[in-house]
Chain A
Amino acid sequence: MENYLLHLVVMIGIYSILAYSLNLVTGFGGLIVFCHAAFYGIGAYAFTLASVGGGRLSGEVLMAGEWPFLGALIIGGGIAALAAFFIGTVALRFRGDFFVFATLGFQMILFAVLYNWTELGRGAFGISGIPRPDVFGWKVKALWEYALLVGMVNALVLPVLFILYRSPFGLSLKALRDNERAAESLGISASRQHLSAFVAAGACAGLAGGLYASYVTYIDPTSFGLNESIFLVSLLLLGGSGNRIGPILGAAVMILLPEALRFIGMPSAIAPNMREIIYGLTLIVLMYARPQGIAGSYAVK
């Protein structure tokens, strides 16, 4: 029971980084992004390939470094930021539906690459035996240690994001979101601000990917597909975007809700489907009654 609760804490910690980083682009920049899971996946794969070397691996991958945990985590974030830079340069030329389509396209392309380029990361077989974190000699093995580590990464990343939210940068994003033309006439460059937000969000998602990979010690591309991106968008919009409460609320609700349903005694054969149905219905009702989400301050346009 204790371990189960700690597992939920770790998952909420990982998803809170993802939600807060997506919030920067969606809640402040006003752009719905369907490729956040791709950055998450790139981070996870970059982290894995950077740290899995040294005989721990069964089978061939393109490269296998033997970096320590923190170094590999930074590589994960960096590569994801790089990917976000290139994708953002192309996708941010569009707005509205076309932007959604473009990010969706990149999500599918990156998934196809991870899934089919078997020389890179063994494709559908996935990579197992990812080493547990070792932070300056602190070997993280027990679940509570892991919860502590995830909490520490949150404590480092979230304040940075919060400062970004409140900084002139965040305010200019808000201005662009509310009226792009007016904001540009005041000398705010839409392409530069949006791209910076995109890259920052990608970097954070990459960090979350690294944490996830070292936590479950096995990754395969199906964890980073379109469904995951859809899950992240709905998580953020359910909790609410554009402030500091919504994302964590969304992450907590979306991760705890299925677990709570487990205890009300549904027949186990239909439980997973019922869970999904409830989550779908929640989205519909919420978008109808409260388009800004449970605690959000911005309703997507």
Chain B
Amino acid sequence: MNLFLQLLANGIVNGALFAVLACAFGLVYRSARVFHIAFAGLFLVAPYGSYLASIWWGWPVWAAIPFGVAMGGLGGLLAELALYRPFVRRNATAAAVLVASLGAYVVIVNLFAMGFGNEVKTIERGLAHRVSFGPVGLTTIQIWQFVIGTLAVAGLGFATVKVRAFKVIWAMGDEPGLVPALGLPAHRYRMLVFILSGLMCGLAGCLIGYDVGIDPHMGMSYLLIAAVAVLAGGIDSYRGWVLGGFVLAVLQSLTVWKFSSKWMDLVTFAVLIAVLLFRPRGMLGIKRRSEEI
């Protein structure tokens, strides 16, 4: 039973991270309608940025992480400006954008592998302290992950309700042509989406990097987790993305408890296919009339 509680706690901590990742992917996927595979490469920008700052330049943690996250936002912006905008200007098909994004992913990953090497780099060298809450013990890094992750998700959630720009961003996902027709700068809103996504993704990347280290090929599995969380939770609902992230993380923990950690991927993708089959619009999906789809 103690093991179960411990794994559940680990699952909830991971859930906060997955929720941040899901928001980062969902923002782009829902509003810019881009299957953002380059996300798996951009995921690396922030942790390598803070690695650079903290190990090479000797910055303290509280400066290195914000630096990394800012780099992540910049990376997102660059991806939009250099990669996606030319395709939007050309009215390229979704599949062409997908394949180009795939190409960008390959380029980014190999640039990082060339700059930093293929091996796992650790940013934090000291051993993490362990804090016990009754039967459950969490490391200090895990507590930071949970607190920062939850705050980020809650902050963005609050913003989606209160800030008008998010209404436009949401509407852009439904009807991309409508935004310029209303006299709103569609390209700027897209830039905002990519910056926000880059920041969220960078935050998750730093928090994960400080815990388990970074290597150039880790991004893909987190991209897949984010995508599954968004689809499983419900593409059309911000709460769905967050729920999807938490459900996925807890399910992975339960897999570890019941079977073994090696079946985690299998459970993740079985969830994806089950949700697609039985609730195609996700757990919190809104039923739409057939004309709307």
Contacts and interface: CB of A to CB of B under 8 A. Distances in A.
Interface of A: 32, 90, 93-94, 96-98, 100-102, 104-106, 108-109, 111-113, 115-116, 226, 230, 233-234, 237, 270, 273-274, 276-277, 279-284, 287-288, 291, 299-301
Interface in B61-99: 83, 86-87, 90, 92-99
Contact of B96 (A276, A280, A282, A300): A300
B35 interface: yes
Cβ-closest 4 pairs across A and B? A283-B103, A280-B106, A300-B95, A280-B107
Given A113-B266, A287-B96, A300-B93, A101 B231 contact: yes
B18 to A, nearest CB: 16
Contact of A281 (B107, B109, B276): B107
Kindly name the residue among B268, B273, B280 whose own CB sees the greatest number of chain A CB atoms within 10 A: B273
A234 B224 contact: no
15 contacts: A94-B280, A100-B35, A104-B269, A105-B272, A112-B263, A113-B266, A116-B266, A233-B99, A277-B107, A280-B110, A283-B103, A287-B99, A288-B92, A291-B96, A300-B96
A169 B277 CA distance: 28
A105 B269 contact: yes
A287 B35 contact: no
Contacts of B55: none
B265 interface: yes
Interface of B: 35, 83, 86-87, 90, 92-100, 102-107, 109-111, 113-114, 220, 224, 227-228, 231, 262-263, 265-266, 268-270, 272-273, 276-277, 280
B93 A277 contact: no
A97 to B, nearest CB: 6
A241 to B, nearest CB: 11
B100 A105 contact: no
Contacts of B92: 287-288, 291
A93 B103 contact: no
A300 B272 contact: no
Contact of B93 (A226, A274, A284, A291): A291
Contacts of B83: 284
Given A284-B100, A287-B97, A300-B95, A104 B276 contact: no
Contact of A273 (B86, B100, B114, B227): B114
A276 B110 contact: yes
A112 B100 contact: no
Contacts of A301: 93-95
Contact of B106 (A94, A116, A270, A276): A276
A32 to B, nearest CB: 6
A32 B101 CA distance: 14
B276 A94 contact: yes
B87 A288 contact: yes
B104 A280 contact: yes
Given A277-B107, A279-B103, 11 more contacts: A94-B280, A98-B280, A100-B98, A105-B272, A108-B269, A109-B269, A273-B111, A279-B106, A280-B107, A284-B83, A301-B94
A96 B104 contact: no
Contacts of B95: 32, 300-301
Contacts of A300: 93, 95-96, 99
Given A93-B277, A301-B95, A288 B90 contact: yes
A113 B269 CA distance: 12
A234 B220 contact: no
B102 A234 contact: yes
A220 B268 CA distance: 23
